[in-house]
Amino acid sequence: MYIRCLILCIAFVLATASKKRYDGNILVSVTPYEEKHFKVLSLLEDTDEINIWNDIRRNSSVHVMFNNATAPWLMGLFSSLSMKPSIMHNDVQALVDQEENEIQLRARSGAPRGIHDAFLNYDEVTAWLKELVGLYPQLCTLISIGKTYENRDIWLIKCTGNNGATNKKKACLDFGIHAREWISPATGVYIINELVSKYAAGGLSKELLDTWEFHIIPILNPDGYAHSHARERMWRKNRKLVSGTCYGVDLNRNFGYQWNTGGSSASACSDTFHGGSPMSENEAKALQNYMTGKSWNTYLTFHSYGQWWFTNWGYTTANPPQYDELKQKANIGANAIKAVHGRAYTVGSSAQILYVASGGSEDWTRGALNILYSYCIELPPTGGTGFIAPVSEILKTGLETFAGVAAYLKALP
């Protein structure tokens, strides 16, 4: 027992020593209400002065992280622009440490890391998917739709009922396009498990699998996600080397419909770097190659955080085609989510509610593949600790998201 504990302690020290620390970083809320405020925030992020956590929205709280050493002039700048700066958390590293301690406490206990009580890393999700397919071969198949820059598989699990029905509707769902949004892959895993493990019991899972063919990618950004677990908790992009010192492309700015027409960055070090060309990244190409040539009824991409259900057309403030229909269907899902725990989602165009952001996957599936019901869903929370969600959020978010997605899918023609 002593040797085992010693080995675990050494492993913990080595693991934590190799991770990027956020000592001296604070998380601050600011409120932009003019176009110039958006430009200021974008410039500060491009020059690595701040790190923006949530989506920028007019007249609403935007959460920005920066080092306390720069706080006097940044707080002064935000105050001079009447952006109402206020400190949300004065020690980001303490939040990261709390999350890491929870992970290590479970590891030292010897308890298995279950899908409801741990944010599984890439290797653990891979192992779980393979085990699930082994348990339910009549319902699921697992394929790699491509390889990443660091040669990881981009896994897709196809799930459908074995009731013999033909001409089933098809849904493509992806999660984890941004590495630090851990609640997204956890929710994807929850939905997969809910569909497959409860099929035999009948009820909602059986109804969905007997009428739908689900194509689910639980981690669309494997390299970035693995990096956020092993090295840099707040990492967002993929891990391709794009210049001498800068890594990563924002995959949700890299898709080929209306690419680089606003709301992305040409700076290779920026968190919203759109890449050197549309569809330049392996992950975007993998999704493109898999989805093109098939008939789809809906596409859903899951991010965090903010509690939004966004329609397509993030690249423009103009209404997307059939906007009222899109909102009507999204509201069915949002209402079902709210009915579980009371958490409200805002429905609408991301460009109208927030700001323009081009190169998103939901715009590409609508514009290039003509999938009318293409949406981006931003999971909880709306504030609090942001990306560093407690483990208890896995079950809570999973339950309500499954309810919302199920209600939405049942409403589609």
| Same domain, residue pair 157 and 86 | no
Domain final residue, candidates 40, 73, 93: 93
**What pLDDT digit, counting tens, does each position of 236-250 carry?**
999 999 998 999 999
Three-state SS string over the chain comes to CHHHHHHHHHHHHHHHHCCCCCCCEEEEEECCCCHHHHHHHHHHHHCCCCEECCCCCCCCCEEEEEEHHHHHHHHHHHHHCCCCCEEEECCHHHHHHHHHHHHHHHHHHCCCCCCCCCCCCHHHHHHHHHHHHHHCCCCEEEEEEEECCCCCEEEEEEECCCCCCCCCEEEEEEECCCCCCCHHHHHHHHHHHHHHHCHHHCCHHHHHHHHEEEEEECCCCHHHHHHHHHCCCCCCCCCCECCCCCECCCHHHCCCCCCCCCCCECCCCCCCECCCCCCCCHHHHHHHHHHCCCCCCEEEEEEECCCEEEECCCCCCCCCCCHHHHHHHHHHHHHHHHHHHCCCCEEEEHHHHCCCCCCCHHHHHHHCCCCCCEEEEEECCCCCCCCCCCCHHHHHHHHHHHHHHHHHHHHCC
What's 81's domain CATH number?
A: 3.30.70.340
| Same domain, residue pair 88 and 131 | no
**Token pair 């970083």 is at which residue?**
25
What's 143's domain CATH number?
A: 3.40.630.10
| Same domain, residue pair 144 and 212 | yes
- Predicted confidence band of residue 14 (pLDDT cuts 50, 70, 90): very low
Proportion of the chain above pLDDT 90, given as a percent: 85
**What pLDDT digit, counting tens, does each position of 112-158 carry?**
778 998 999 999 999 999 999 999 999 999 999 999 999 999 999 99
- How confident is the model over 88-111, as a mean pLDDT? 86
**Per the domain annotation, does 302 fall within a domain?**
yes
**Per the domain annotation, does 101 fall within a domain?**
no
**Per the domain annotation, does 264 fall within a domain?**
yes
pLDDT at 120 (0 to 100): 96
Q: Rounded CA gap, 150 and 222, in Å? A: 9
**Per the domain annotation, does 8 fall within a domain?**
no
Please give the residue range of the domain that contains residue 52: 25-93
- How confident is the model over 309-335, as a mean pLDDT? 98
| Same domain, residue pair 57 and 198 | no
- How confident is the model over 82-102, as a mean pLDDT? 94
**Per the domain annotation, does 275 fall within a domain?**
yes
| Same domain, residue pair 165 and 51 | no
Which of the residue ranges 79-83, 165-169, 194-198, 333-337 would you say has the lowest mean pLDDT? 165-169
**Per the domain annotation, does 204 fall within a domain?**
yes
**Per the domain annotation, does 71 fall within a domain?**
yes
**What pLDDT digit, counting tens, does each position of 261-282 carry?**
999 999 999 999 999 999 999 9
**Per the domain annotation, does 369 fall within a domain?**
yes
194 catalytically annotated: no
Domain count for the chain: 2
| Same domain, residue pair 330 and 181 | yes
- Predicted confidence band of residue 373 (pLDDT cuts 50, 70, 90): very high
pLDDT at 385 (0 to 100): 87
Q: Rounded CA gap, 403 and 335, in Å? A: 10
| Same domain, residue pair 86 and 190 | no
**What pLDDT digit, counting tens, does each position of 290-320 carry?**
999 999 999 999 999 999 999 999 999 999 9
Q: Which of 181, 378, 393, 400 is catalytic?
A: 378
pLDDT at 4 (0 to 100): 41
pLDDT at 106 (0 to 100): 73
| Same domain, residue pair 62 and 149 | no
| Same domain, residue pair 130 and 171 | yes
Model pTM score:
0.93
- Predicted confidence band of residue 7 (pLDDT cuts 50, 70, 90): very low
pLDDT at 11 (0 to 100): 44
| Same domain, residue pair 203 and 269 | yes
Q: Does the pLDDT at position 412 exceed 80?
A: yes
- Predicted confidence band of residue 17 (pLDDT cuts 50, 70, 90): low
| Same domain, residue pair 67 and 133 | no
| Same domain, residue pair 311 and 209 | yes
